Amino acid sequence: MTLKYMIKNATVVSIDPDIGTVADCDVLIEGDSIVAVGPHLSQPDNCVLIDASNAIVSPGFVDTHRHTWQTQLRTVCSDHTLADYAIWMRNVYGASYTARDAYLGNYCGALESIDNGITCLIDHSHIVNSPAHADSAVQGLKDARIRGTWCYGVWKNPCWEGSCLDPEREAQVPDWRFADAKRIKDTYFKSNHPTDLLRFGFAPAELDFLTKEQAKEEIMYGRSLGSAIITGHIGCGKYDDGAHTVRILRDAGLLGADLLFSHATTLEDDELDALRDQCAGLSSTPGTELQMEMGHPIAFKARAAGCRASLGIDMACSNPVDMFQQMQLLLQSERRLQSTTSQAKLSSLQQKCAEVLEMATIGGAEAAGLKDIIGSITPGKKADLIITRCDSPRLTPIIDPVAALVLYANSSDIDTVFVNGVVVKQGGKLTQVDWPKVRSELRGSLESILHRSKQAPLESIKKEMAIFMKQDLGTAQG
């Protein structure tokens, strides 16, 4: 029998222009889908009733850029530059992850996402130290029951004595990850349909630092696998050496709706026009971009140019997995930019709360190729939604529910989360998760990672990364 839920008496922030924001509204869910939205709906038989009085129902957040594996290392990079991050996360700690660590990072990172109202994420997974790491990372997301796209990252973590890489394999078959990506796709993602809960994607190794031919070849290889999304970092502020990857791909006829670029703060107008014309997506991650000299977030500029602009968390090692925070950072930093670049006093604010909420929901769905599947409270779409209680001192009372979600709410206000019609958080707690047990193993995982990381040849890693990034990394701190 198909399970049915009736959410009653809610303020529904639908993000659907035909529905809008409706007070005293009901939402009917049957199976994995939303079937009706409106006031005073008839309650079907055998229906689970959820009273959402004094609560806001809204679409689940869509995180379009995350390195989920880094969950254990939260706070490690909170005072780091991008240069520090490149050394410690991408070369020291990353190489210290076992396959089980990769599983726990992805599993717990996905649980953390759900707890914070993120129902879909694009996982740029550059933790593939072995084929077993790839298997484990995929399984972690599957076990957490989150929607997403797992993107096989072919970045090579360094193999040093004591690391979790096989020196023989790295020496004899240095490009083994490409064949392994096909194995993962064929094993776990035979369908890879937009309605599948978890899809397969591909992540080239740092597009801006590859040669033109390498960049084109890796994107074409990702397409040959049938990847739902091909994602990569480009245009990272002061670390942009003028690669203009978008122009290279445009001139080669390789731009398309399956491409999702993160950061991209240095894109010029012609590049934004090209992305708009070819329906490629952009993911801004305000927390890391503002911290790590990666430039001002491009989301509002990209949106104004007609691009598919969205938001991502990026990494738990430097900021919380909290889309509320990312919305706030983006909105207020953009408002400050406008005020400081204007010669006159502003007569009104151009950037509205509703725009940021759209980028965190339907904008993310569009960038991920899922606009017809998720991103709004619309009949026929999958039931990925959150119920935010307005009972706390900071949310009582509420006049503007959109502003409440963008500037006032936090994860502790999220009472219930649905993913694909399944209740994965209820009463403020994750369902079907033995969190004390998982938490204990996650802490043990961190201890073992830190222990192995002490064997890393730090000075040689610094020198190699200085050459790779064309930066002076000699002062990078751990």
pLDDT digits (tens, 9 = 90+) for 232-288: 999 999 888 899 999 999 999 999 999 999 999 999 999 999 999 999 999 999 999
DSSP codes of every residue in 273-325: HHHHHTT-EEEE-HHHHHHTT--S--HHHHHHTT-EEEE--B-TTTS-S-HHH
In the Cβ-directed half-sphere of 63, how many Cα atoms lie within 13 Å? 36
For residues 423 and 391, membership in a common domain is answered with yes
pLDDT above 60 for 471 = no
**Domain shared by 139 and 99, yes or no:** yes
Mark whether 220 and 329 lie in a shared domain. Answer: yes
Is 142 in the same domain as 259?
yes
Is the pLDDT at 407 greater than 60, yes or no?
A: yes
**Residues 302 and 405 occupy one common structural domain:** no
Q: Does 189 have pLDDT greater than 80?
A: yes
Number of H helices, E strands in the chain: 16, 17
458 domain residue, yes or no: no
337 and 299 share one domain? yes
Would residue 187 count as lying in a domain?
A: yes
Residues 243, 106 within the same domain: yes
Residue 319 predicted with pLDDT over 80: yes
Please choose, from the candidates 280, 275, 357, 278, the residue with its C-alpha nearest in 3D space to the C-alpha of residue 311: 357
Q: How confident is the model at residue 470 (pLDDT cuts 50, 70, 90)?
A: low
In a domain, 174, yes or no: yes
Non-local (6+) Cβ contacts of 459 within 8 A are none
Asked whether residue 438 is assigned to any structural domain, the reply reads: no
In a shared domain, residues 124 and 30: no
436 in a structural domain: no
Looking at the domain assignment, is residue 437 inside a domain? no
Decide if pLDDT at 89 tops 70: yes
Least confident range of 126-140, 404-418, 450-464: 450-464
Last residue of a domain, one of 319, 352, 368: 368
Residue 19 counted as domain residue: yes
Domain final position from 392, 410, 430: 430
Give the per-residue pLDDT at 118.
98
Number of domains in the chain: 2
The tokens describing 219, both together, are 């994107």
Q: Are residues 231 and 167 in the same domain?
A: yes
If asked whether residues 204 and 74 sit together in one domain, one would say: yes
DSSP 382: B
pLDDT beyond 90 at 361: yes
Task: Judge if 68 and 53 occupy the same domain.
Answer: no
> Do residue 278 and residue 388 come from a single domain?
no
How does pLDDT run across 69-81, given as a tens digit for each residue? 999 999 999 999 9
The confidence score (pLDDT) of residue 474 equals 43
Name the nearest CA neighbour of 219 among 207, 234, 236, 211. Answer: 207
User: What is the structure's pLDDT at 213?
Assistant: 97
- pLDDT bracket for residue 473 (50, 70, 90): very low
453 within domain boundaries: no
**Can you give the residue range of the structural domain that contains 394?**
4-59+375-430
Of the candidates 340, 368, 396, which is a domain's last residue?
368
